[in-house]
């Protein structure tokens, strides 16, 4: 209470009460939900299928609005509607997060390689699109680990897709790995062929039993930027180790 000059007691509103705190928290949660559903969603990279483009321990934002919205744009994929609204089709070379078609719940991230109607094949490690070999230029070897965790160097290439998108790929097992020679995949309407840049260590659309072609409705968003990155053997919560475990040079790198 406060007292006026006339001696009348005046009640002062308590701005720091529990109700005000709850209101602020609820508003913040609603804003976060809207941003996550309609604009950007964070993901982290748990596997090496997109090495050297994305590393284990990278944290990134995907844009939800780029491809429009399906039920998979909403947390837990509730069946509120079918199809996509405000759709914008993925472009060849995009790195995209999608729901695994086999269960419609597991998040996968790969690169868009094949569009509806394309014919995709691998011949001795070289990607073929519609009967033509994709340009592949050898560059310096890439330092990584072999299947037994030992340090090694593997062949690295710059691959240039037909639309001009250039990106790096590695061939851990050379050009005769398990998925380096395949049959021709004909991409059905409304689906896309997805592959990892780590060609011999990626479960992707080449494996029809596990992934196969991905329906457009299963796309969640396009990978845009790395906002944090930490060594795969480190723990992000150990802040005191950040000076030597955070990959500072990767933070805020756009994803291509």
Cα 156 to Cα 80: distance, rounded to the nearest angstrom: 44
Domain containing residue 91: CATH number: 2.10.109.10
Cα 213 to Cα 208: distance, rounded to the nearest angstrom: 7
Average pLDDT over residues 100-117: 96
| Burial of 234 per CB tally in 10 Å (0-12, 13-18, 19+) | middle
pLDDT in tens, 16-41: 578 788 877 777 777 666 666 667 89
- Pick 164 or 19 by higher pLDDT: 164
Cα 12 to Cα 205: distance, rounded to the nearest angstrom: 65
| Residue 13: inside a domain | no
Per the structure, the count of domains in the chain is 1
Q: Which pLDDT score, from 0 to 100, does residue 12 have? A: 46
23 catalytically annotated: no
Integer-rounded Cα radius of gyration of the chain: 24
110 catalytically annotated: yes
Q: Which pLDDT score, from 0 to 100, does residue 251 have? A: 97
Residue 159 domain boundaries: 41-250
pLDDT surpassing 80 at residue 61: yes
- The active-site residue out of 110, 202, 205, 229 is 110
Give the bridge partners for 156, in sequence order: 139, 170
Helix, strand or coil for residue 28? helix
* Cα distance between the two ends of the chain: 61
Q: Which pLDDT score, from 0 to 100, does residue 62 have? A: 96
| Residue 24: inside a domain | no
pLDDT in tens, 124-145: 999 999 999 999 999 999 998 7
pLDDT surpassing 80 at residue 248: yes
| Residue 239: inside a domain | yes
Q: Which pLDDT score, from 0 to 100, does residue 5 have? A: 47
Q: Which pLDDT score, from 0 to 100, does residue 90 have? A: 97
| Residue 147: inside a domain | yes
Work out the pLDDT band at 9, boundaries 50, 70, 90: low
Q: Buried b vs exposed e over 206-233: b needs ≥16 C-beta within 10 Å? A: beeeebbbbbbbbbbbbbeebebbbeee
- Pick 11 or 216 by higher pLDDT: 216
By the 8 A CB rule, do 97 and 89 touch? no
| Residue 33: inside a domain | no
Write down the H helix ranges in the chain: 18-34, 242-245
By the 8 A CB rule, do 30 and 50 touch? no
Cα 232 to Cα 90: distance, rounded to the nearest angstrom: 29
Q: Which of 24-33, 73-82, 109-118, 136-145 has the lowest mean pLDDT?
A: 24-33
Q: Which pLDDT score, from 0 to 100, does residue 174 have? A: 92
| Residue 77: inside a domain | yes
Work out the pLDDT band at 82, boundaries 50, 70, 90: confident
Tokens of 17: 């009460």
- The active-site residue out of 49, 73, 202, 205 is 49
| Residue 30: inside a domain | no
By the 8 A CB rule, do 68 and 213 touch? no
Average pLDDT over residues 220-230: 97
Distant-in-sequence contacts of 72-75, Cβ < 8 A, 24+ apart: 72/98, 72/99, 72/104, 72/217, 72/218, 72/219, 72/220, 73/37, 73/38, 73/220, 73/221, 74/37, 75/33, 75/36, 75/37
Rounded to the nearest integer, the mean pLDDT of the chain is 90
Average pLDDT over residues 207-219: 97
Q: Which pLDDT score, from 0 to 100, does residue 26 have? A: 79
pLDDT surpassing 50 at residue 2: no
pLDDT surpassing 70 at residue 49: yes
Q: Could you give the strand order of the β-sheet that contains 126-129, starting from the edge strand earlier in sequence?
A: 132-133, 126-129, 119-123, 185-186
pLDDT surpassing 50 at residue 4: no
What percent of the chain is modeled with pLDDT above 90?
75
| Residue 26: inside a domain | no
Q: Which pLDDT score, from 0 to 100, does residue 35 have? A: 63
By the 8 A CB rule, do 51 and 170 touch? yes
Cα 92 to Cα 127: distance, rounded to the nearest angstrom: 13
Question: How far from chain centre, in Å, is Cα 6?
Answer: 67
């Amino acid at each position: 209470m406060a007292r006026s000059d006339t001696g009348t007691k005046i009640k002062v509103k308590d701005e720091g009460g529990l109700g005000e705190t709850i209101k602020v928290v609820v508003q913040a949660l609603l804003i976060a939900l809207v941003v996550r559903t309609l604009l950007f969603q964070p993901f982290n990279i748990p596997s090496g299928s997109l090495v050297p483009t994305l590393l284990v321990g990278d944290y990134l934002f995907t844009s939800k609005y780029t491809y429009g919205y399906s039920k998979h744009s909403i947390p837990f994929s509730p069946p509120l509607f079918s199809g996509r609204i405000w759709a914008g089709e993925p472009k060849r070379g995009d790195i995209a997060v999608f729901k695994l078609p086999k269960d419609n719940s597991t998040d996968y991230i790969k690169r868009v390689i094949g569009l509806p109607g394309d014919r995709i094949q691998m011949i001795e490690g070289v990607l073929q699109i519609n009967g033509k070999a994709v340009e592949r230029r050898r560059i310096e070897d890439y330092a990584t680990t072999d299947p037994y965790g030992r340090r090694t160097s593997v062949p690295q290439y710059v691959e240039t897709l037909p639309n001009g998108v250039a990106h790096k790929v590695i061939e851990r097992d050379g050009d005769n790995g398990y998925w380096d020679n395949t049959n021709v995949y004909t991409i059905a309407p409304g689906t896309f062929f997805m592959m990892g840049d780590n060609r011999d260590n990626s479960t992707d659309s080449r494996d029809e039993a596990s992934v196969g072609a991905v329906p457009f409705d299963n796309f969640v968003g396009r990978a845009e930027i790395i906002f944090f990155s930490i060594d795969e053997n480190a723990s992000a919560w150990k802040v005191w180790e950040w000076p030597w475990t955070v990959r500072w040079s990767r933070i805020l790198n756009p994803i291509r």
